[in-house]
């Protein structure tokens, strides 16, 4: 039987997700949005490309959660972006309300779905989503690390003039200024990136610049676009997670997952390597960290905790 993916939020990322899923024939797609016309319009537009592209899936748009019933995967991008004059806490308050509505909409209609959250601020919103929905923690996960790692790899590949395919890396921690590029786990053509510096093949300043550019990778695109934020790479990253679940690929991917002691963190969502297979998050992978990586990750953990404390002040249910 064909699988079903529901996309909650049919904006820039939602529409791109729908298109990628259709091209890959990964599943039937339901696009949901409070703005019903956007969901229906994008679904119709993509459906009309099927005879050109040759894909065979059903795609529809709706503003009714009943239509998302019994989804195998749900990907959430519902939210509002930060506008001028809005504080981080203002945005958090608005998106927490939206995520509560989404949680109420999906928890009874698709209780067995693998739920991927993309709405920002990511780590806190995915934690709130799990709490509001009560869905199992191994089935509720946040997308950020794949995107951040992909940006880091791309910048490194450009600097070293080498294919991204020859670069292994991991960017972990919270999705924001404190994300950590794990340099001791970054290899270029099988060689540690830090050794390339020792050998004079890469300047330390260049690597520092790339680490920094990765942290502000989202902001760089916001500035260029002037309106909206990145959506192609975020959508591709969400699809990789959905595919690993639906096809039981058991890929190791950096994602925001619920930790219960791993990395010294208890009861918090954080970007770490996980295995995604038919049972959702099948394993949290713990990797050895050197002192610098540990210190940077601790800094990131504090930032996520601080933001979650702000969320608890907004809604005591999250406490």
Of residues 155 and 231, the one with the C-beta less far from ligand A3D:
231
Question: For ligand A3D, which stretch binds (CB under 6 A), given 28-36, 153-161, 244-252, 295-303?
Answer: 28-36
Only one residue has tokens 């992978």, namely 285
CA–CA separation, 285 and 300 (whole Å): 18
| Residue 38 in contact with ligand A3D, rule: CB under 6 A | yes
Of residues 16 and 296, the one with the C-beta less far from ligand A3D:
16
Beta strands 266-277 and 167-168 are unpaired
Question: For ligand A3D, which stretch binds (CB under 6 A), given 75-83, 192-200, 204-212, 265-273?
Answer: 75-83
Using the 8-state DSSP alphabet, how is residue 258 labeled?
A: E
CA–CA separation, 101 and 274 (whole Å): 28
Which residues inside 201-240 make contact with ligand A3D, applying CB under 6 A?
Answer: 218, 228-231, 234
| Residue 179 in contact with ligand A3D, rule: CB under 6 A | no
Of residues 9 and 280, the one with the C-beta less far from ligand A3D:
9
Element containing residue 263 per DSSP (H, E): none
| Residue 10 in contact with ligand A3D, rule: CB under 6 A | yes
Single residue of 33, 72, 240, 293 touching ligand A3D by CB under 6 A: 33
Does residue 20 contact residue 235 with C-beta atoms inside 8 Å?
A: yes
What's the first-to-final CA gap in the chain, in angstroms?
41
CB of 233 to ligand A3D, least distance (A): 8
CA–CA separation, 39 and 41 (whole Å): 6
Of residues 228 and 261, the one with the C-beta less far from ligand A3D:
228
| Residue 44 in contact with ligand A3D, rule: CB under 6 A | no
Q: Which of 19, 175, 185, 258 is catalytic?
A: 175
Only one residue has tokens 């934690």, namely 127
CA–CA separation, 267 and 261 (whole Å): 8
Does residue 311 contact residue 120 with C-beta atoms inside 8 Å?
A: no
Please confirm, yes or no, whether 19 is among the known catalytic residues: no
CA–CA separation, 298 and 276 (whole Å): 25
Single residue of 101, 138, 178, 206 touching ligand A3D by CB under 6 A: 101
Q: Sign of dihedral through CA atoms 97, 99, 105, 107?
A: negative
| Residue 176 in contact with ligand A3D, rule: CB under 6 A | no
Single residue of 77, 109, 130, 150 touching ligand A3D by CB under 6 A: 77
Which residues inside 116-155 make contact with ligand A3D, applying CB under 6 A?
Answer: 118-120, 122, 143-144, 147
Only one residue has tokens 């994602």, namely 255
Of residues 175 and 185, the one with the C-beta less far from ligand A3D:
175
Neighbours of 79 (CB within 10 A): 24
Beta bridge partners of 270: 257
Using CB positions, name the residue nearest to ligand A3D: 11
Binding site for ligand A3D (CB under 6 A): 8-14, 33-35, 38, 77-79, 81, 98, 101-102, 118-120, 122, 143-144, 147, 175, 218, 228-231, 234
Enumerate the active-site residues.
Answer: 175
């Amino acid at each position: 039987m064909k699988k079903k993916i529901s996309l909650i939020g049919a904006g820039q990322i939602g529409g791109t997700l729908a298109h990628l899923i259709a091209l890959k024939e990964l599943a039937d797609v339901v696009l949901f949005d409070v703005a019903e016309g956007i969901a229906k319009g994008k679904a119709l537009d993509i459906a009309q490309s099927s005879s050109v592209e040759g894909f065979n899936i059903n795609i529809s748009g709706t503003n009714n959660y009943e239509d998302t019933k019994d989804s195998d995967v749900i990907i959430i991008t519902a939210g509002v972006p930060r506008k001028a004059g809005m504080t981080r806490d203002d945005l958090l308050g608005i998106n927490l309300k939206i995520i509560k509505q989404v949680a109420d909409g999906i928890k009874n209609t698709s209780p067995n779905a693998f739920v991927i959250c993309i709405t920002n601020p990511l780590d806190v919103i995915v934690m709130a989503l799990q709490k509001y929905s009560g869905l199992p923690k191994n089935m509720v996960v946040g997308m950020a690390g794949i995107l951040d790692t992909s940006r880091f790899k791309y910048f490194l590949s450009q600097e070293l003039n080498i294919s991204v395919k020859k670069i292994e890396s991991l960017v972990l921690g919270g999705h924001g200024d404190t994300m950590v590029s794990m340099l001791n786990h970054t290899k270029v053509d099988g060689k540690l990136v830090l050794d390339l510096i020792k050998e004079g093949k890469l300047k330390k300043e260049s690597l520092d610049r790339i680490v920094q550019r990765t942290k502000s990778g989202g902001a760089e695109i916001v500035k260029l676009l002037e309106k909206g934020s990145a959506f192609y790479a975020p959508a591709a990253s969400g699809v990789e997670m959905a595919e690993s679940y639906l096809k039981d690929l058991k890929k190791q991917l950096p994602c925001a997952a619920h930790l219960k002691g791993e990395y010294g963190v208890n009861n918090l969502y954080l970007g770490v390597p996980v295995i995604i297979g038919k049972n959702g998050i099948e394993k949290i992978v713990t990797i050895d960290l050197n002192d610098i990586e540990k210190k940077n990750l601790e800094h990131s953990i504090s930032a996520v905790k601080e933001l979650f404390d702000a969320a608890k002040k907004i809604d005591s249910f999250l406490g």
